[in-house]
Structure 1
Amino acid sequence: MTAIRTGCDLAAVQDVLDGIQAHGDRYLARVFTLRERADTGDDPERLAARFAGKEAVVKLLRPTRTDAVPLHDVAIVSDEHGAPRVELSGAAEALAAAAGITSIDVSLSHERGLALATAVALAER
Structure 2
Amino acid sequence: MATIRTGTDLAAVEDVIAGITAHGERYLARVFTPQERADAGDDPERLAARFAGKEAVLKLLRPERSDAVPLTDVAVVLDAVGAPVVELTGRAAELAEAVGCTSIAVSLSHERGLAIATAVALSER
TM-score between both structures, scaled by the size of structure 2? 0.99
Instruction: Give, in whole Å, the separation in 1 of the partners of 2:25 and 2:113.
Output: 22
Instruction: Give, in whole Å, the separation in 1 of the partners of 2:65 and 2:12.
Output: 25
**Paired residue secondary structure (2:45):** helix
Instruction: Give, in whole Å, the separation in 1 of the partners of 2:22 and 2:66.
Output: 29
Structure 2 residue aligned with 1:123:
123
Structure 2 residue aligned with 1:93:
93
**Share of identical aligned residues, percent?**
76
TM-score between both structures, scaled by the size of structure 1? 0.99
What does residue range 32-71 of structure 1 map to in structure 2 within 5 Å?
32-71=32-71
Residue 66 of structure 1: how far off its partner (Å) = 1.9
Instruction: Give, in whole Å, the separation in 2 of the partners of 1:119 and 1:66.
Output: 22
Structure 1's unaligned 5+ residue stretches are none
**Matched positions, count:** 125
Structure 1 residue aligned with 2:76:
76
**Paired residue secondary structure (1:22):** helix
RMSD between superposed Cα atoms in Å: 0.5
Instruction: Give, in whole Å, the separation in 2 of the partners of 1:72 and 1:111.
Output: 24
Structure 2's unaligned 5+ residue stretches are none
